[in-house]
Amino acid sequence: MDRRALGIAGAAVAGAAGIAAILRWRLWSGGVPSTPTPPVGDHFDASELVRNREYRRGVWAMAVAAVPVAPAVAVAVAAMSGRWSGPVARLAGGRPWRAGLIFGAGLSVATAAALLPLRGARFAWGREFGLITQGFPAWAVDVGKGVAIGAVIGGGLGAAAAVLIARAPRWWWAWLAGGAAGFVYLSSLLAPVVIEPLFQRTVPLDDPALERDILALARRQGVDADRVLVNDASRRTVTANAYVSGLGASRRIVLYDTLLRDFPREQVLVVVAHELAHVKHRHVLKGTTWGALLVIPGCLLCFAMVGARTGWGRARPGTEGTQLVLRRVAIVAATVSVVGAVSAPLGNWVSRAYEREADWTALRTTDDPASQVRLFQGFVRTSLSVPDVPRALHVWFGSHPEPIDRIGMAERYAADPDPAPDPEG
């Protein structure tokens, strides 16, 4: 690497650390006490967890195996760009946007193809244990839709990157960062209305009594919850869940129909209170902001990698220049893919903090810790989870606190509903 590239890469890493420190300071959760982890044996029989552990061991093995796949594909494609960039540039008629489009869509499809065996194994494993109820044809259709969406998004990002790299050899990374940050917000805004309907059907909650209880909870939290929807999760899974998605006008709380079917009313209200807490604390907006701001140093790092591998000069118009643009786009994609995989633990660290805050707020609004304990016990049972996930796996993959810690928080609340907050959050 030349010294200029090293300097820029160093600035990118320092910038990322600075942004993360500021976000940790300004966008963290507050007022959540530290909570002890109760012994697993207090809440679960070892015998009832045997099957769960067997199921989870398989899931973890597949998740670990999947981590390096996308980066490996992207890095291999970038390393071999000498071979394919010429033909692709000619196919695109020497137009950078077309070349970037072909590359982005192609890489997205190649990555999906490389991941397909693991996805198939994951599906078969879930069917084997009775967790997945979806049939193979419906699953295959969902996979197909996912690949198509990925190709469209990949093609769009590839085209945008190629045009910027061709037109702005010094500042493309900044334009790209701005565009990507906008894209991150737009995805959060549009996912519930554009992407989610492709994979599930939702209907408004049709249960006036529950709706009354939900609205009362929402009032207590100072949240307007005009849109509570129920999806058709039972067509795909026996697990129960709920989530909040969207920003502003697209915001909604979605309850799995399995949750309403399999869990008692007071536990459903705990889940709703948790989701309302995500709304109250603006977790979707905060999480999106983490992503959007950290994209900026990420793009600067891409700039350093591109400069180190292909120099800093402008690509000339025409097929040969477009070939250089393509090689640069491939380096950007490889860098993004590696950084994205490596930064997964950071995203989950943030997510776990928000989940703890939502759990705590749910306890304070429902004032029903016994139901919260039974809810997480029930989730472990219906999702074949393990209450105490091995540390390294939890740090890497855990978007939520471990079930036993969530139970510990409920017990802590039961013992003392108004403790001093943990200064570490």
Interatomic CA distance for residues 322 and 88, integer angstroms: 9
Cα gap 331→325, rounded to integer Å: 10
Q: DSSP letter for 236, please.
A: T
C-beta of 357 vs 368, nearer to Zn ion: 357
Please provide residue 59's backbone torsions phi and psi, each rounded to the nearest 5 degrees: -60, -45
* Separation CA 346–CA 331 (nearest Å): 23
Measured from the CB of residue 358, what is the shortest distance to Zn ion in angstroms? 5
For residue 376, the minimal CB distance to Zn ion (Å) is 12
Question: What is the spatial distance between Cα 213 and Cα 203, in angstroms, rounded to a whole number?
Answer: 18
Output the smallest distance, CB 295 to Zn ion, in A: 24
Copy the structure tokens of residue 13: 């890493």
Q: Which pair of tokens denotes residue 291? A: 């992503």
Closest CA to 399 of 328, 344, 357, 362: 344
CB of 355 to Zn ion, least distance (A): 5
Least distance (Å) between residue 284 CB and Zn ion:
10
Q: How far is the CB of 271 from Zn ion (least distance, A)?
A: 9
Which is nearer to Zn ion, 355 or 405 (by Cβ)? 355
User: Binding string, 331-360, against Zn ion, x = CB under 5 A?
Assistant: ------------------------x--x--
Neighbours of 247 (CB within 10 A): 18
> Which of 16/27 has CB closer to Zn ion?
27
Q: Which is nearer to Zn ion, 165 or 358 (CB)?
A: 358
Count of positions (residues) in the chain? 425
Q: Which is nearer to Zn ion, 73 or 276 (CB)?
A: 276
Q: Please, which residue, 327 or 406, has the CB nearer to Zn ion?
A: 406
Q: Which is nearer to Zn ion, 326 or 358 (CB)?
A: 358
User: Closest Cα to residue 99, out of 166, 185, 193?
Assistant: 166
Q: How far is the CB of 195 from Zn ion (least distance, A)?
A: 19
Subset of 358-377 contacting Zn ion (CB under 5 A): 358
Instruction: Retrieve residue 155's tokens.
Output: 């093609």
The contact pattern for Zn ion, residues 297-336, with x = CB under 5 A and - = no contact, is: ----------------------------------------
Tokens representing 162? 């190629």
The footprint of Zn ion (CB under 5 A) covers: 355, 358
